[in-house]
Structure 1
């Protein structure tokens, strides 16, 4: 497996010598919906009336007769100002919002909070969002380990994988949330600090497991976009097998579905 720069290194290059506060989206929100929000928010900002009081329209958010798209636009507008009362209005609405609006208002709250913090702290704000979200300053990853013999893992192998990965991930400041075995796959969901070299950690742990018998394929699948089903994993592996270069490592840093945005209180 080739060495990859981790996401934290890329973030440091983005901000240069400036100090910055990194904000990680905590919730698990579909990546396509996130991209829709970011694009819509960008469009809304082009037509904002800075003198208008958007709080006067907040009641529309609670009106079942108001179209979803209109509510989404209002949330984007409220989230575009560094005003605490706008943030509180979004926060109050989130407690009562219908399920389909929860992801949208969550993204709006995140943007609003970053703008306010940027203004108060006079510090660049970086927003990192992925489909699987995170916890604190940790990003969540979905990892697939493939049995080297195309067989089900034995009970001993399952126990070894669980213990080794739990120990290593915890040692690196993370958390192993879930381990699930199905057919020839071991599927792990874990949290790791954004500054840690994720692929290196997982690769070294795989090698440690293989010191007890080379039963795990040296390549593994890792993504922070979504948890994959067994059928999706098989489909992905089949597509990779047909390509000229066979690799099943998904580098989160090269994934176009990751979103990194920044807010600078004093843009040049």
Structure 2
């Protein structure tokens, strides 16, 4: 499909390279936070730096809970508190996160994650690997949104739905992951899953497609996977339509289609 999209195998290899040090702690952002919000936070945090009076910031933590404090000021406080390797700062962010202003819920989640990493670094003597994606994760698993596509532009038959459901279920028997949801919609299967960081997503689902296609080649070898966001039916339909038109016009299809895989931060 789109040749400009990131190579899934390269992303997988990048993660494996980072995980080679078995003693390295891996920290996964569990909550689903918009990627643009994440980039805004990390840029803000980087620009703010660490040159500030820590005691002064700790003394001002109560401003987070004041209705008179502006959103911008709360943003600054959260970012500053997140850089302080003191449980007092961590607890202040945690307390605020649990009852955050609507417009700062995601911001407080990111500040809490950064604060947690700062404390872990202080205690362990080395910084953990932080993996941040739009769809988040759970424990050492990352969340993915996957779409399998029918080879023909028509709804799946019941036996095909049953087979896909069974084969995908078999895949997860060998992985410490979880199928959170699976929905059949005409010529596509929308799946939301949690899979270990070490899983090669491309090989994992390609294997499932191959198993299904032993009974009639009713799935395309190409599939869509993203960990940025859960796409709407309309967005998925548009991508599939473009894919089918490209094939009709003689275009080549990749083995898999990666809508987007976040960088490891």
TM class by shorter chain equals 0.7 to 0.9
- Which secondary structure does the structure 2 equivalent of 1:200 belong to? helix
For 2:146 and 2:35, how far apart are their aligned partners in 1? 18
Give the aligned CA root-mean-square deviation in angstroms. 2.5
Partner residue, 1:249? 257
How many Å apart are 1:127 and its aligned residue? 0.6
For 1:239 and 1:100, how far apart are their aligned partners in 2? 36
After superposition, the C-alpha distances for 1:174-201 in whole angstroms (9 at most, x for unaligned) are 1111001112111001111001111101
Give the number of equivalent residue pairs.
256
Asked if the contact 2:54–2:84 (Cα under 8 Å) also holds between the matched residues in 1, the reply is no
For 2:174 and 2:117, how far apart are their aligned partners in 1? 31
For 1:86 and 1:154, how far apart are their aligned partners in 2? 56
* TM-score after normalising by structure 1: 0.87
For 1:147 and 1:259, how far apart are their aligned partners in 2? 30
Partner residue, 1:115? 118
Equivalent of 1:229 in 232, 251, 254: 232
When structure 1 is superposed on structure 2, of 238-247 and 182-191 the one drifting more is 238-247
**2:14 aligned with 1:10:** yes
* TM-score after normalising by structure 2: 0.87
Equivalent of 2:132 in 119, 129, 134: 129
1:77 and 1:190, CA in 2 relative to 1: closer, same or farther beyond 3 A? same
Asked if the contact 1:137–1:194 (Cα under 8 Å) also holds between the matched residues in 2, the reply is yes
Partner residue, 2:184? 181
For 1:69 and 1:236, how far apart are their aligned partners in 2? 38
For 2:146 and 2:191, how far apart are their aligned partners in 1? 5
- In structure 2, runs of 5+ residues without a counterpart are 2-6
**2:69 aligned with 1:66:** yes
**2:211 aligned with 1:208:** yes
How many Å apart are 1:27 and its aligned residue? 0.7
